[in-house]
Amino acid sequence: MKKTCFTLLAVLLAPIASIAAPDAPIVVCYPGGSVNAKDANAAMGSMLRVVERVGQWQAGSLNSVFTAKADECRKLMDDKNPKFAIASLGIFLEQRDRHHLVPVVQPTINGITTERYRVIVQKGKFNSLEELKGKTLGGTVLDAPGFIGKIVFAGKYHPESFFQLQASNQAIRALRSLDKGEIDAVILNEQQFNGLASLNLTNPIETLFTSEDIPLMGMVADGKNSTAEERTRLGNALAGMCTDAEGKKLCELFGVDSFALVNPATFEPMVKLWKKGK
């Protein structure tokens, strides 16, 4: 899941999920992200208060918990045992068996429900990914090396042993370092890659590696802790949101075209890749 977009989705989706599960906190995991928990909780809280008022729930009865730390996310999933969670694809794959996770909805962004990851370098410095062996690789998505290795590189490269990883929680900082020649390469998600044109980098860059299409992840549910009815009703609600006159504005604000109920089979190839990488 795209990191920056994921944060926005997290804020967008949190109150909706609460409708289906007003008695359970929504666990929102954003590992490696740049949003601090206080700001994220404040943003979600202000939206939840509106949900409570209009939905005629007692003020303060709906809540969500947010973390930008992978370890904390795992602990929250264990402690809270949530019905619903907003999680990256990496978290979904990692926690899938432990928490019986099933995908509920998937966003469409810029007309597509998938994304590709790319490794970029300063133009002319390297000719292939193999030449980056032992070189420095930066980026915001490196906090989940398992996901990068098994899914993005489809098991062909093990990031922790192939590269010298320099994880950052700011994509723009990694790109500035690349531009200055302080690091050799940066791995970007789709949204970051598409935003490159808006940066005034001094040196031209080129793409050395492009992943296969990877499905975007939105919201997941604990298949045992939630009922099929709750998942379907929540999924249908989300699916109608961006075509709804009022909901459209929020979707536009967060750059999401639409949400759609997702067939879990969509993620089967990812699950297979993940298992194969073990």
Task: Classify each residue of 117-128 as buried b or exposed e, where b means 16 or more C-beta atoms within 10 Å of its C-beta.
Answer: bbbbbbeebbee
Residues in binding contact with other proteins, number by CB under 8 A: 46
Instruction: Report in angstroms how near the CB of residue 14 gets to other proteins at its nearest.
Output: 11
Rounded CA separation 119/206 (Å): 9
Side-chain half-sphere exposure of 59, counting CA atoms within 13 A: 2
User: Residues 135, 156, 143, CA angle at the centre, nearest 5°?
Assistant: 60
Of 11-19, 70-78, 86-94, 117-125, the window that binds other proteins (rule: CB under 8 A) is 11-19
- In three-state secondary structure terms, 107 is strand
Site residues (CB under 8 A) for other proteins, limited to 17-46 = 19, 34, 36, 38-39, 43, 46
Rounded CA separation 187/255 (Å): 22
Site residues (CB under 8 A) for other proteins, limited to 158-197 = 169-173, 176, 191-192, 194-195
Kindly tell me which of 186 and 273 has the beta carbon lying closer to other proteins.
186
Site residues (CB under 8 A) for other proteins, limited to 198-217 = 198-199
Which residue from 257, 234, 267 is spatially nearest to 19, judged by alpha carbons?
234
Helix (H) or strand (E) holding 94: helix 89-95
Residue 219 engages other proteins in binding (rule: CB under 8 A): no
Structure tokens at 12: 């967008």
Read off the DSSP letter of residue 163: S
Kindly tell me which of 50 and 228 has the beta carbon lying closer to other proteins.
50
Read off the DSSP letter of residue 243: T
Of 15, 32, 138, 215, the one binding other proteins (CB under 8 A) is 15
Provide the mask over 230-269, with x wherever binding to other proteins is found by CB under 8 A and - wherever it is not.
---xx-xx--xx--xxxx-xx--x-x--------------
Binding site residues, other proteins, CB under 8 A: 4-5, 7-8, 11, 15-16, 19, 34, 36, 38-39, 43, 46-47, 50-51, 53-55, 169-173, 176, 191-192, 194-195, 198-199, 233-234, 236-237, 240-241, 244-247, 249-250, 253, 255
